[in-house]
Structure 1
Amino acid sequence: MEKTIKKIGVLGGSFNPPHNDHIRIAEYIRNRLDLDLFLIVPNALPPHKDTCHVEFSHRRRMLQILTENHSALQISDLEKDPNVPHYTIDLIDKIKSEYPQSTVFFCMGMDSLIYLDKWRNGLDITDKCNIVVIGRKGYSVDDSNPEVKDYLKTHAVYESDSTFSEKLNEKKGNCFLLKECFNDVSSSKIRQEFEEYYKTAEQHMDLAEYADKFPYSLTYLDRGIIEYIVKNSLYRKRES
């Protein structure tokens, strides 16, 4: 008999490129909240980013490489259309339509929460589901925009709160703030390392040479993803 999907975690983003902390965060939240399903949703056309020049198919393939040993994480193609911008508020509607009986937890980092009022209907997301916020080094809830601070007065549920476990059973209305803190990984710094490599490289390197060329990327990228990026010449500097 198939297990009932009661609780679903959702992590969206451009994943440009996907890195190890994406997986660490997803697995941590999945285990902490005892989720039945965790969806990773790459966005073909992020509305707030103009640096996502790598095709959706490449970013999805890199996610496949990254998650191949994480069977509990499932890649979703709900935002694969490259012709229209995709917004979280609409993504939640799609997921709730597909899983009408499930409780949805949309996951984000503290670096996103503090600017949530700048998202399209960002402060209305908890009218449809719950939000889960993971700590990011260098960011604090105290850094939130004024509108977000007001929002948190009525929606925040801290992990130390006595009502935390009880609130997890509610289908919407809560913004759960977890204590665990992860590194603020710079995707732009990763992309920059590859740009610099392409300026001087005459041929593709073998894996043994990566350590000197990609010191930051090797810290956060799966080696299979580094190989994929180099093989497909991703993150070359675009001609102006």
Structure 2
Amino acid sequence: MKIALFGGSFDPPHKGHDAVIKEALKTIDIDQLIIMPTFINPFKKGFFADEEKRLEWVIKLWGNLDKVKICDFEIKQKRPVPSIESVEYLYKIYQPSQFYFLIGADHLEKLHLWHNFEKLNSLVEFVIANRDNIEIPKKFKDLKTDIKISSSFIRYTLDTDKVCEKIKNEVKDYYKKFQKTDII
């Protein structure tokens, strides 16, 4: 079995994530794409939307796609989970002949700092989604998905132009409570 893993905070999920998922399903020879929201990214100090809300959004957006499975393994751990743990967990379940790991190009600079990177690198083939005009080294497969958006931009501006239609209003309403109000 050939599988791919796409993890992330999805705080909130947006059209950039959607493009990665759809391009991976279209261009990579896989039997299953596992989408795994984090409880909290090991490189971040917190999150805005709680894990249940982010999981709910991910399920709404991609839970009914062919070949897609939503996995709550990291959320259930209630702590930052290094990618190697998630990969080893999925190896036990799927025993894949090929394991692709989808990441955004913005992660390339610090990829070598990921927990137990050498082992992780030996277990997966990284597939890099284009982002922010970052050059992707030839040694990696790449996904042509260069959508210019970030979850933090959506949170801070409440500009939901690049949020998928199914959750657009919900996302805007949710993050409104984090906006600072100026009292004059």
For normalisation by structure 2, the TM-score amounts to: 0.86
SS at match of 1:41: strand
Larger Rg: 1
Q: 1:63–1:235: structure 2 CA closer, same or farther, 3 Å change rule?
A: farther
SS at match of 1:133: strand
* CA deviation profile, 1:21-51 (whole Å, cap 9, x unmatched): 2121112122212211001000012111124
Structure 1 residue runs of 4+, over 3 Å off?
none
Gaps of 5+ in 1: 1-5, 143-155, 158-175, 195-213
Gaps of 5+ in 2: none
Question: What is the total number of aligned residue pairs between the two structures?
Answer: 180
The answer to whether 1:135 aligns with 2:149 is no
8 Å contact kept, 1:45–1:81: no
8 Å contact kept, 2:156–2:179: no
8 Å contact kept, 1:7–1:103: yes
Give 1:238 shift: 7.6
8 Å contact kept, 1:45–1:82: no
Q: Which of 177, 190, 194 is the matching residue for 2:154?
A: 190
- Distance in 2 (alpha carbons) for counterparts of 1:181 and 1:223: 19
Match of 1:237 in 2: 178
Q: 1:67–1:101: structure 2 CA closer, same or farther, 3 Å change rule?
A: closer
Give 1:235 shift: 5.3
8 Å contact kept, 1:56–1:82: no
The answer to whether 1:224 aligns with 2:178 is no
Identity of aligned residues (%): 23
SS at match of 1:221: coil
8 Å contact kept, 2:33–2:67: yes
For normalisation by structure 1, the TM-score amounts to: 0.67
Match of 2:54 in 1: 59
Q: Which of the pair has the greater relative contact order for Cα pairs under 8 Å at 6+ separation? A: 2
AA aligned to 1:188 is S
RMSD of the alignment, in Å? 2.3
SS at match of 2:57: helix
